Amino acid sequence: MPSASICNLHGLLTRAARIHADRPAIRGGPTWDQRALLDAVERCAGGLRALGARTGDRIAVLADNRFELVVLHFAAARDGLVLVPCNVRLAAAELRQVLERATPRALLADRAWLESAAGLGDLAVTPLETLHETAGPAAHAPAATTADTPALLYFTSGTTGRPKGVVLTHGNVHAHALLAIAELRLRETDTWLHVAPMFHLADAWAIWTITAVGGCHAFVPRFDAAAVFDAIATSRATITNLVPTMLGRMVALDGEVARDTASMRLILSGGAPIAPETVRRVVEVFGPGCDYVQTYGMTETSPYLTMSLLDERQRTAPFDERLRIAARTGRPVLGVELRVVGADAVEVPADDASVGEIQVRGPSVTPGYWNDPDATAAAFTPDGFLRTGDLATVDASGSVRIVDRAKDVILTGGETVYSTEVENRLYEHPDVVEAAVHALPDADLGERVCAAVVLRPGAATTADALRAFCRAALAGYKTPKQIRFLAELPRTGSGKISKRALRDGAG
């Protein structure tokens, strides 16, 4: 009798191709139904086998958002290969570090990145597009994988030192797919628009989950606010994930581009806390038929840990109260055990004021880091909870509110300042498009509160005016002592604002 631990993510597709055979699976490039997607995956598996890939080998890929990445994910899972999605925004030296750590059997790249990939070392580069175009169907049986078999290897950007490789198993990703289906009520009529980079789990989780319900995938190769509006209209997308920066740029275009968002039923956002004022603008632009849900998660957790889903009672609350709830970090999703722990290792009171670190455990949490037992041991508590490094409060309903990353808390003149509180105030100013608050050394105060701000085109707001605006709602010690105006904010490879770069650049 088969072991209960047998698990292969490829089974999500074979089930979809059996139950939802004629439903659309891919729009953008080809137009495929679920059976055609499965056929392409079989050919891609044949192509990977021709490259010499065998169960347990790593396969690295460098590509923009495109349908071949959906094919590749399932083909790699079919044969027990470990897919290593590479961040296209990394410098060549950083990518070489990733490849040195991962030791892949093959490096794939789409045509836009072939030249860059060829300069990364001695590893031969295979065009991603050719794997399903030129190979015949796989002649070998799928690998016998279990829930503990590694499926994905995501490397950190390396901005804080040597990159760590996050291992996600077939069991991790399968558990996350099921919880996301349940929480978001995903169904075969959904079309997911891949906008955030598919090399990052902010988007890539949907490869598995949308396919599992027999849904459809559409693609925006690289983010452009106007192009996203166009893609929503042409693909009739129903759901997507946009990081707060993307949302800010899209709502800033309101009235400047034609838009038809009537098909959208849900916008997810994560990767950074979001200001309630930004949520207000999103709701205004996308309309009452499209819900907004804030998410929180990590690569180490496949990724989602919480969602700001409203219950039936909250849906009848006044508009401003609904916005406040939607902008929170949210309650833990199904299957995730979450606690907020103070410096004394005791859970903080559920008063939405006491601050502690979020710690989590559950079936979607990584078993650890690739060939790095020391980093793995440091990441977990003795009772098996993952330390997230994120500071938060929790209320009586179990809803979490992140106040800062532990490393971004500002200690000024003996007072503690959480950067998100100051950022939220800055976002309320009508001329502010983006804002990031960070610390700089101060001989008198220890650290001083600083802000980097991107203004709307044509805005003439001054630093003094923004400080006065903040001071009207915040304590004096929370008000930025220094405000810089930038054309754009620096970002990490995953698109998050890099406060380290802001600190280094202003030092």
pLDDT tens sequence across 215-252: 999 999 999 999 999 999 999 999 999 988 788 889 88
pLDDT tens-place string over residues 83-102: 999 988 888 888 999 999 99
Q: Is the model's pLDDT at 174 over the cut of 50? A: yes
How high is the pLDDT of residue 503?
86
CA angle (317 as vertex; 311, 320 as ends), nearest 5 = 115
Q: Which two tokens stand for residue 462?
A: 């001054």
Domain 335-405, CATH class in plain words: mainly beta
Q: How many CB atoms lie within 10 A of CB 379?
A: 20
Q: Is the model's pLDDT at 68 over the cut of 90? A: yes
Q: Is the model's pLDDT at 2 over the cut of 50? A: no
Peptide linkage before 303 cis (omega within 30 of 0)? yes
Within this chain, domains 335-405 and 409-505 share the same CATH topology: no
How high is the pLDDT of residue 294?
93
Domain 409-505, CATH class in plain words: alpha beta
Q: What span, in angstroms and rounded, lies between the C-alpha atoms of 370 and 361?
A: 19
The answer to whether 217 and 68 have CB atoms below 8 angstroms apart is: no
**Mean pLDDT across the chain:** 92
What is the reported pTM? 0.86
Domain boundaries, the chain: 335-405, 409-505
pLDDT tens-place string over residues 13-42: 999 999 999 999 999 889 999 999 999 999
State the DSSP string of 306-338.
EE----TTGGGS-HHHHHHHHTS-BEEPTT-EE
Q: Is the model's pLDDT at 507 over the cut of 80? A: no
